[in-house]
Structure 1
Amino acid sequence: MKKKVIIIVSLLVVIILLHSTPSMALRTHIFFMGYPKAAISLGIIEDKEHNEVDKDKFAELNAKAYALTNPPVEKVTQGELRNYLVRKFGFLHFAEYLGDT
């Protein structure tokens, strides 16, 4: 019983650490998309253009757009995975691909 509690608490701590900041949430998302090298080496900047254009929508979602300076290239379509939306739920952040808009 004690081992199960320790394992569950450890997993919760790891999840909280991986989603504690927008950049960590974005790196975690990129890592689990299958681009571990890119998740470590990429640069992250705030996407001012998307944040200005969709300011009201992002405020409603409690989100911000981010762009990658060295984005990974999708294996199937050879497109760059550059723009992401990071939403905040409580104190945790979660990233999702925004697309090439």
Structure 2
Amino acid sequence: MKKWIGLVSVLVLIFIMLHSTPHLALRTKVFLMGYPAAALASSIVDDEFHNDRDKDAITALNANIYTLTDPPVEKATQGQLRNYLVRKVGFLHFAEYYGEG
């Protein structure tokens, strides 16, 4: 029983660490999408254009949009996975692909 409690505690701690900042949450999302090289090597910058344009919706979601400077390329469509919406829920951050629009 102690081993299970220890294992669950370690997994919860890792989850919290990987979602503790917007950049770590974004890197975790890209890594889990299957692009580990892009997750580790790409720089992350604020997407000022989308943040200004969609200001009301983003504020309502308690979110911010970030852009990867060296984004991964999706194999099926050859599109660049550049922009991501990062929401803050409590003290954790969660990223999702935002698209180009």
The answer to whether the superposition gives a TM-score over 0.5 is yes
User: TM-score when scaled to structure 2?
Assistant: 0.98
Q: Does 1:51 align with 2:51?
A: yes
After TM superposition, list the pairs within 5 Å mapping 1:1-101 onto structure 2.
Answer: 1-101=1-101
1:100: Cα distance to partner? 1.3
1:54 and 1:79 map into 2 onto residues whose CA distance is 22
Structure 2, unmatched stretches of 5+, are none
1:77 and 1:57 map into 2 onto residues whose CA distance is 28
User: TM-score when scaled to structure 1?
Assistant: 0.98
Alignment size in residue pairs: 101
Supply the AA of the counterpart residue of 2:76: V
1:74: Cα distance to partner? 0.3
Give percent identity, aligned residues only.
Answer: 58
Q: Secondary structure at the match of 1:95?
A: strand
Structure 1 residue runs of 4+, over 3 Å off?
Answer: none
1:99 and 1:55 map into 2 onto residues whose CA distance is 16
